[in-house]
């Protein structure tokens, strides 16, 4: 199972963007920020499924216009059931999506995933997203394979444990892609093997000649 970026990003939002929670403090749904995290991360995965090369480039570019375009489509979607005012919804989602882009870029630079490695990481998150938000989220971000999904049972872990697991994942990926250094014995040149019997005959001839002189 791929490292749980859903939980990782949720923790990073709390650490890096605590001011966002002030805008959702009065909502009746205390998990709405987590739902927005799932909404936006799921949208990234849905976009990756359709054009991985473009999204890989956009993640590294961190283009605000591209981010705003994604958020605007989510804001105006007929499936958007967020209780937030449109302006607050756009502002919060833009901040979360920018954080996603920045974190993914840093991961890629640290672990040297490349597009193929990033694809494996992102597509592996679908199982972590399952059941983490109401169906309107998956309809809104068009990750419709998760409509009606149930959460995959997982042990609840702390943010510290999540960070430890993330660091281990990065180190493992780095080790897997590091060039292997192997000790090898010096190769014996081919000509040496060819001359071995000749040298042996010469040695035997010298010994035989010396023996004959000694005896006779």
| Alpha carbons 38 and 151: distance in angstroms, whole number | 13
Q: How far apart are alpha carbons 37 and 29 in whole angstroms?
A: 14
Q: What's the whole-model pTM score?
A: 0.74
Rg for the chain, CA atoms, rounded: 31
Region for 147 from its dihedrals, namely left if φ exceeds 0, alpha if ψ lies in -120 to 50, beta otherwise: beta
Cα separation of 194 and 17, whole Å? 73
**160 exposed, middle or buried (CB, 10 Å; 0-12, 13-18, 19+)?**
exposed
Digits of tens for pLDDT over the chain (216 positions)? 578 999 999 999 999 999 999 888 888 888 999 999 999 999 999 999 999 999 999 999 999 999 999 999 999 999 999 999 999 999 999 999 999 999 999 999 999 999 999 999 999 999 999 999 999 999 999 999 999 998 766 555 544 555 555 556 556 655 665 555 454 445 455 545 555 665 555 555 555 555 555 555
CA distances from 59 to 50, 53, 108, 164, 167 (A): 15, 10, 10, 24, 21
Give just the sign of the alpha carbon dihedral 171, 172, 174, 175.
Answer: positive
**Residue 66 and residue 120 in contact, taking contact as beta carbons nearer than 8 Å:** no
Token pair in block for residue 38: 């799932």
């Amino acid at each position: 199972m791929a490292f749980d970026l859903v939980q990782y990003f949720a923790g990073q939002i709390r650490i890096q963007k605590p001011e966002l929670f002030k805008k959702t403090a009065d909502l009746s749904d205390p998990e709405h920020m987590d739902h927005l995290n799932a909404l936006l991360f799921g949208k990234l995965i849905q976009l990756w499924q359709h054009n991985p090369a473009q999204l890989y480039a956009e993640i590294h570019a961190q283009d605000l216009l591209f981010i705003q375009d994604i958020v605007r489509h989510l804001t105006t979607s007929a499936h958007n059931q967020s209780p937030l005012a449109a302006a607050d919804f756009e502002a919060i989602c833009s901040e979360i999506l920018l954080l996603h882009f920045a974190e993914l870029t840093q991961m890629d630079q640290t672990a040297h995933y490349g597009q193929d490695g990033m694809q494996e990481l992102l597509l592996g998150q679908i199982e972590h997203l399952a059941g983490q938000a109401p169906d309107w989220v998956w309809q809104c971000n068009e990750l419709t394979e998760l409509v009606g999904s149930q959460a995959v049972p997982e042990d609840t872990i702390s943010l510290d444990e999540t960070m430890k697991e993330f660091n281990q994942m990065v180190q493992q990926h780095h080790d897997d892609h590091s060039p292997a250094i192997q000790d090898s014995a010096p190769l014996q040149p081919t000509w040496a093997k060819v001359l071995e019997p000749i040298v042996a005959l010469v040695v035997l001839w010298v010994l035989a000649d010396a023996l004959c002189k000694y005896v006779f």
